[in-house]
Every structure is written in C-alpha cells, then in structure tokens.
A = this chain, B = another copy of it.
Amino acid sequence: MIFIDTCFGKKSDVMPIWMMRQAGRYLAEYKATRARAGDFLSLCKDYKLASEVTLQPVDILDFDAAIIFSDILVVPLELGLPLRFEAGEGPVFDEIISSEIDVEKLNINAASKLIYVYDAIKLTREKLASNKALIGFCGAPWTLATYMIEGKGSKTYAKSKRMIYENPALAHKLLAKITEVLKEYCENQIKAGANAIQIFDSWANALEPSAYLEFAWKYIQDLASYLKTKYPHIAIIAFPKGVGGFIECLDAKIDVLGVDWSTPLQVAAKTPYVLQGNLEPCRLYSKKAIKEGVEIIKELTKDKAHIFNLGHGILPDIPVENVRYLIDCVRNA
C-alpha cells in the first residue's frame, strides 16, 4: 500500500492522496445513503451503510486510502453521555462533566459498545482493494474532553479551560479515563482491519502551549506509545490543529503529523515525522488555486515522503469535478 509505505517514510514517485471528510456531503452518493439512514448518528451506527459511504470516495475518485465513516463523538456517547445532533447547532450533550462523580460514572467499558465501528471496519477492509489503506480514527482526549465539559462546540472553551486551571486533578482524571478507553477502541479498530489510526485533536488551538503539552499532547503520547509498542506495523497519525507556533515541541511515537493550512510545511518539516497535508480547503473552489496550491506542496516536499491531504476537511459545496482535478494535479505533472 503506497499510503502505508509513505507513512513509514518511503518516498514514492507519486504522492498518495486522501482527504479529510472525503466521505461527505460534496458527494451526491453520500447524500443518498445518508437519506436512507435517516439522521447522522444512525448512519454511524449502521455498519453496512457506514461501510458503504466509506468506500464511495475510493470507488468514485480513487483515493489511496479510505477513512472509516464515523464520528469522534461516538466515544463520549458510549462513555455514557447521550448525544444528539441539532440542525444548525451541531452536536449536543445534555449531560456534561463537571465533577469527580461525573467522571466516575463514565463507562470504562465504552470500547466494548462500539461494535458498529469494528463491524464497519471489517466489512470495509474485505471490500477494499488490497493496495488501498483503511484508516481508523479517534478524537484526541483533549478534544473529546472539551465536548464532554462544554456540552457542545464552543468559541472560548471557557468551561474546559477553567477546569484545567482551577481543578487540574479533575481534568487529568477525565483525560486519563478517556485515554484508557481510546487505547482499547483503537486496538479494536486495528484488530478489525484498520491499517492506520489518525488521532484528531481538532481543538488543540484552544490551549496555550504549556497547557497543550500537559493536558493534551501528553495523552496523545500515551495513546501512541501504547499502540506503537503493540502494533508497530500500524501507522499512527496525529493531527493537532492550529499548533504552528510550537509544533517543534511535539514529540511522540507517531509516524505521521497532520499539518493544518495555517502552519507552513517548512515549519512542520522541523519535526522528525512524515507530514500529511496541507492544501487550504477553500482552494478547491478554483481550479487555478488548486493547481497553484498543489505545485507549492510538490515543490516543498520533492525530496521527502509526503501524504497529500487538505489542511482540514473538505467543504460540502465543493464541486466533485474540482476534486477530480485536484487528484489529477497531484498524480500528474
């Protein structure tokens, strides 16, 4: 698999490419399957339909890797927090974590309840061509904790940050518990057939550098070490979004570092990892901007193993034709 070889540092003639949110609303086929499933969470929980939308972008657009269709918030859900998705509002947890008792009540066996994810991975791996990689994933402990403390997306993350400054012991207790569940969750994804695991730390940018290292990266280190020791052949990718100011401090047993569009690849190249990224997703609105963006990334990575990706997820209103054009630009001179 060119994707996995590249994760482990092997430079190929043509960069492997996949896109965050490649199974998503820009594809008519995704929207059709989603309509059959009903709501978003039902699609996550139906392993056959989840597998179907996972395979669509590879079948239709020939990406080098599939990423299992799911949501990072299935973990807090199975930890015991009822989850709903509100139109316009995004995910909402009506119960939140604010005390020691709340943390103790969380179901430490959450990973055993995520069978629908493992079944989707198993089925997808069976159907996927052998030269295509299948990526499993999870939200990073800090990002999951913010949702569990805030109850929904936040502009300020004030509740979560108040906890780390006012009651750091409680925050660490919550983060450690999430991390233990994630170890088992990722391990089960690997056993089901995932060839790589991506850890999404979407709200990395909410923390100042010292707090990020103590309350977020530390748990990614722990999770990555656990997986790497047991499964050295599985590629581990971390994607801490918005940490360009201190990316050089990020040391862990990962193979690949995902780079968002606001961090120059030249800066990220100071880390020892294979890089993944980082085309600005809005360049996909314009073919001229796509071509220019791809050329810049090709030039910056010409001597290195590099995984082509966007700097964040693809937006729903991007024309599929432009995605085809992007892939063509990446693969051809």
Residues of chain A having any CB pair with chain B under 8 Å:
156-158, 161-162, 164-166, 205, 207-211, 242-247, 261-264, 267, 280-283, 285-286, 288-289, 296, 311, 315, 317
In the bound complex, residues from chain B placing their C-beta under 8 Å from that of A262 are 205, 207-209, 242-243, 245
CB-nearest residue of chain B to A161: B282
A158-B315, A165-B285, A285-B166 known; A208-B280 Cβ under 8 A: yes
Query: For the complex formed by this chain, how many copies does it contain in all?
Result: 2
Q: Whole-angstrom distance from the CB of A227 to the nearest CB of chain B?
A: 27
Contacting residue for A282 out of B165, B261, B267, CB 8 A: B165
Which one of A242, A262, A283 has the highest number of Cβ atoms from chain B below 10 Å of its Cβ? A262
Pick the residue among B208, B247, B261, B296 that contacts A261 (CB under 8 A): B208
How distant is the Cα of A246 from the Cα of B247 in the complex, in angstroms?
A: 12
Q: Which residues of B contact A211 (CB under 8 A)?
A: 280
Q: List 13 A-B contacts (CB under 8 A).
A: A156-B315, A157-B282, A161-B282, A161-B285, A164-B282, A165-B285, A165-B289, A166-B285, A205-B262, A207-B262, A208-B262, A244-B245, A246-B267
Complex-state Cα separation, A122 to B247, whole angstroms: 45
Cβ of A207: which chain B residues have Cβ within 8 Å of it?
Answer: 262, 280
Given contact pairs A161-B282, A246-B267, a sample of 7 additional A-B residue pairs in the complex whose CB atoms are under 8 Å apart: A156-B282, A156-B315, A161-B280, A205-B262, A208-B261, A242-B262, A245-B245
Question: Given the complex of chains A and B, what is the CA–CA distance between A209 and B165 in angstroms?
Answer: 32
Q: Is the CB of A267 within 8 A of B289?
A: no
A267 touches B283 (CB 8 A): no
B158 touches A282 (CB 8 A): yes
Q: How far is the CA of A327 from the CA of B296 in the complex (A)?
A: 47
Residues of the B chain whose Cβ atoms lie less than 8 Å from the Cβ of A247: 245
Q: Which residues does chain B contribute within 8 Å of A311, judged by CB atoms?
A: 208
Q: Give chain B residues whose Cβ lies under 8 Å from the Cβ of A267.
A: 245-246
A282 contact set on B, CB distance < 8 A: 156-158, 161-162, 164-165
A207 to B262 CA separation, bound complex (whole angstroms): 7
- How many angstroms between the C-alpha atoms of A156 and B312 in the bound complex? 10
Across-interface contacts of A166 in B (CB, < 8 A) = 285-286, 289
Q: Which residues of B contact A210 (CB under 8 A)?
A: 296
CA distance A281 to B286 in the complex (A): 38
In the complex, chain B residues whose CB is within 8 Å of the CB of A261 = 208
- Bound Cα distance from A306 to B113, whole angstroms: 53
Nearest B residue (CB) for A157: B282
Complex-state Cα separation, A263 to B208, whole angstroms: 8
Which residues from chain B contact A315 at a C-beta distance below 8 Å? Answer: 156, 158
The 7 closest A-B pairs by CB, nearest first: A244-B245, A161-B282, A165-B289, A245-B263, A208-B280, A165-B286, A208-B261
C-alpha gap A209/B311 in the complex (Å): 12
Known: A208-B311, A209-B264, A264-B209. A162 touches B285 (CB 8 A): yes
Smallest CB gap from A211: residue in B: B280
Q: A156-B315, A262-B208 are in contact. Are A246 and B246 (CB under 8 A)?
A: no
| Separation of A264 and B263 alpha carbons in the complex (Å) | 15
| CB nearest to A278 among chain B residues | B208
